[in-house]
Amino acid sequence: MVRGSQRPVGLLTDIKAVGERPPPPWHPLPLSELLIFVGIVGAIVAWARGYQGNAALLGAGIGAVVIGTVEVSLREHLSGFRPHTGQLAAIPAIVFHSAVILIVLALAGHAPQWLFYGLLPVDLALVALCFKLLRGRFVDARRARTAAVGR
């Protein structure tokens, strides 16, 4: 039960945005949004044409969407506007896991099944560490933003 102006404290109490969305350094050009849009169009065009000759277009489209989404999420998270802790914490683990698999594929020609399971504890530890660090950064930024907005 919450009394007076006290707010409950927990992981899910700060999901709502506080204040105005932080502007990008290249404001007023909506570069991230354009990147996401162009990436979606590129991925749809590649999918409609078939994957065989359009793997580069599909990869570029998906890559553009990922870059635009990560930029917006990181900007919002680091400014305390809205938390994206889970999404951002998974990125280093995805990059690490993919790099290890690609290196093994380049050296051995195939990746053994046990490698995927062997990397899982490392991936989980990396996500947990990044989650803890990102969560602390967000809480500090949210505290500063809330004080500035006057809530």
Which is nearest to 66 in space by CA: 39, 26, 44? 39
32-68 residue pLDDT tens: 999 999 999 999 998 888 767 788 888 899 999 999 9
Cα–Cα distance, 34 to 65 (Å, whole number):
9
Output helix, strand, coil percentages for the chain, rounded to the nearest 5: 70, 0, 30
Backbone φ and ψ for 148, nearest 5 degrees, come out as -70, -35
Amino acid occupying residue 84: H
pTM of the model: 0.75
Task: Please report which confidence band the pLDDT of residue 148 belongs to, taking 50, 70 and 90 as the band edges.
Answer: confident
